Amino acid sequence: MYRWLTILAMMLVSSTQAQGVRLITLDPGHFHAGLVQKFMYPQVDAVVHVYAPAGPDLQEHLKRIEGYNTRADSPTHWQEGVYSGPDFLEQMLRQKAGNVVALAGNNRRKTEYIDRSIRAGFNVLADKPMAITPEGFTLLREDLALAARAKLLLYDIMTERYEITTILQRELARTPEVFGTLTKGDAEHPAVTMESVHHFFKEVSGKPLIRPAWFFDVRQEGEAIPDVGTHLVDLVQWECFPDRALDWQKDIQVHSARRWPTPLTLEQFQRVTGQAQIPDYLKADIGPDGRLNVFQNGEVDYTICGVAARVTALWRFEAPPGGGDTHYSELIGTRAILSIRQGEAEHYQPTLRVAKNSGMNTDPHFESVLRAAIQRLCGTWPGLEVKGSGGFYEIVLPEKYRVGHEAHFAQVTEEYLRFLKEGKMPDWVVPNLLAKYYTTTEAWRLAHEH
């Protein structure tokens, strides 16, 4: 079986390299599926085959693509070929209308979709999370091993790696004369802290986002840490241990995790879903006060390569005026503390700050060393500036680098397309996928156990 799969996969890879990429979109229940197609790519065929059950999820996806095709500024020209029968998955596997399956939707079936796609010889570009439970992680491990044998590329969409303040935080953490070395920290005072705040009601591509009702069922969407917490765990690995292949069995120890709900009123649920009533499968989550309890808040404490880290993912209904989703990040080094803040004081823009570690108060050269490091980074990102004095500094960015969350999907897709052309991914990608999803699904297990 594996020999046959390898031959089939090599034929598909050869087809990908010779004829370009032909996308398949499978069961697009999340708006991220549309964002992959917000722009055109020279090597991607304009015809995209969509396989999905009929219903509002599919219609919202097609409306989003049509909006990109008809916008005044740089319209796309995608052609969506749709199959919406109940046997949509079997038809996709049988017809083989493309060579790359794009996944962003209901997370309860996502790991199954990945498994079936890989076994049929498709490359897969999947939105996070690839797995939301320990059982899903076990299946994902099998699929990553199978993909490696078949020379298929299985990759998840990690958009936060392309946010400019995150990139610069990573670069400064790799600059010993500024940052020193990463401290170890402990459970009470982690060396690495990541926190995100997301909102159920928001705008996407300039229009109010209508979320499917199942999005509020954590058994289908995934809870906070296995879902959006995936980004944060990824950033801990990507920033603190760049280009290093991690061993999930040796380098990660998950110590504790907890979960708690965001309660929604019926009016809030109606506003964000467009549905008049809460469906039956959510009735068990309605509390005595009549509000829907959505367990989309979570926190996990763990160590990675001996470094204490804490990740927190929070959901609220709606951002304050002028606000949006926010990100907080802090890395504590022996010479400096690097932090990203995005609150009201920062006008809800990610802002990178550098503070001299208290142990460096007697160093008169810290500021000049920092300014020299930023000047070197200007070789790649021209226009960076340092503002502040006395051990507390802000890295000032030209606005051209703030491209926004939606643009990051194109950047991830372009990188994946480059991997497809080269026929391989960096050696650290798959080991770190395993480390990441072990962390998030083990957090799920501990949160439910305790």
Query: Would you place residue 359 in the very low, low, confident or very high pLDDT band (cuts 50, 70, 90)?
Result: low
- Going from the C-alpha of 29 to that of each of 103, 312, 314, 384, the distances in angstroms are 9, 25, 22, 39
pLDDT for residue 91 is more than 90: yes
Q: d(Cα 20, Cα 357) in Å, to the nearest integer?
A: 51
Across-strand partners of 238? none
**Contact (CB, 8 A) for 409 and 68:** no
Identity of the residue numbered 265: T
| pLDDT, tens digit, 9 for 90 and up, residues 413-423 | 999 999 999 99
Are the beta carbons of 53 and 84 closer than 8 angstroms?
Answer: yes
Give the pair of three-digit tokens for residue 336: 């400096």
Work out the average pLDDT over 323-328. Answer: 92
What is the spatial distance between Cα 112 and Cα 175, in angstroms, rounded to a whole number?
42
Return the percent helix, strand and coil in the chain, to nearest 5: 40, 25, 35
Whether the Cβ atoms of residue 354 and residue 330 lie closer than 8 Å to each other:
no
Helix axes 164-173, 229-240, angle to 10 degrees: 40
3-class DSSP state of 401: helix
User: What does the alpha-carbon distance between residue 398 and residue 443 come to, in Å, rounded to a whole number?
Assistant: 38
Q: Is the pLDDT of residue 100 over 80?
A: yes
- Collect contacts of 382-386 with beta carbons under 8 A, ≥24 apart: 384/168
pLDDT at residue 2, as a whole number: 37
Dump pLDDT digits (tens) for 276-299.
Answer: 999 999 999 999 999 999 999 999
Q: Which amino acid is at 111?
A: T
Residue 405 has pLDDT above 90, yes or no: no
Start-end of H helices in 195-277:
218-221, 229-240, 266-273
Written as one string, the DSSP assignment of 356-371 is E-GGGTT-TTHHHHHH
- Tell me the average pLDDT of the chain: 93
Mean pLDDT over 42-71 rounds to 96
d(CA 407, CA 260): 31
> Residue 256: how many CB atoms within 10 A of its CB?
14
Residue 4 has pLDDT above 60, yes or no: no
Whole-angstrom distance, CA of residue 50 vs CA of residue 32:
14
What is the DSSP secondary-structure string of 47-112? Answer: EEEEE--SSHHHHHHHHHHHHHHH-SSS----EEEEE-STTHHHHHHHH---SEEEE-S-TTTHHH
pLDDT of residue 31: 87
User: Counting beta carbons within 10 angstroms of the beta carbon of residue 355, is it exposed (0 to 12), middle (13 to 18) or buried (19 or more)?
Assistant: middle
Q: How sure is the predictor about 7, in pLDDT bands with cuts at 50, 70 and 90?
A: very low
**pLDDT exceeding 90 applies to what percent of the chain?**
87
- Confidence band, pLDDT 50/70/90 cuts, at residue 124: very high
pTM, full prediction: 0.92
pLDDT at residue 136 above 50?
yes
**Strands 23-26 and 47-51, sheet pairing:** parallel
Answer yes or no: is pLDDT of 149 > 70: yes
Tokens of 154: 């299985």
The pLDDT value given to residue 177: 95
- List the structure tokens of 222: 């995934």
- What whole-number distance in Å separates Cα of residue 89 and Cα of residue 235? 33
Torsion sign, CA atoms 184, 338, 408, 229: positive
* pLDDT tens for each residue of 180-233: 999 999 999 999 999 999 999 988 777 788 999 999 999 999 999 999 999 999
Identify the band that residue 10 occupies on the pLDDT scale cut at 50, 70 and 90. Answer: very low
Q: Where do the domains of the chain lie, and which CATH numbers do they carry? A: 2-157 (3.40.50.720), 161-405 (3.30.360)
Are 332 and 185 spatial neighbours (Cβ–Cβ below 8 Å)?
yes
pLDDT score for 3: 41
pLDDT category, 362, cuts 50, 70, 90? Answer: low
pLDDT grade, residue 15 (50/70/90)? very low
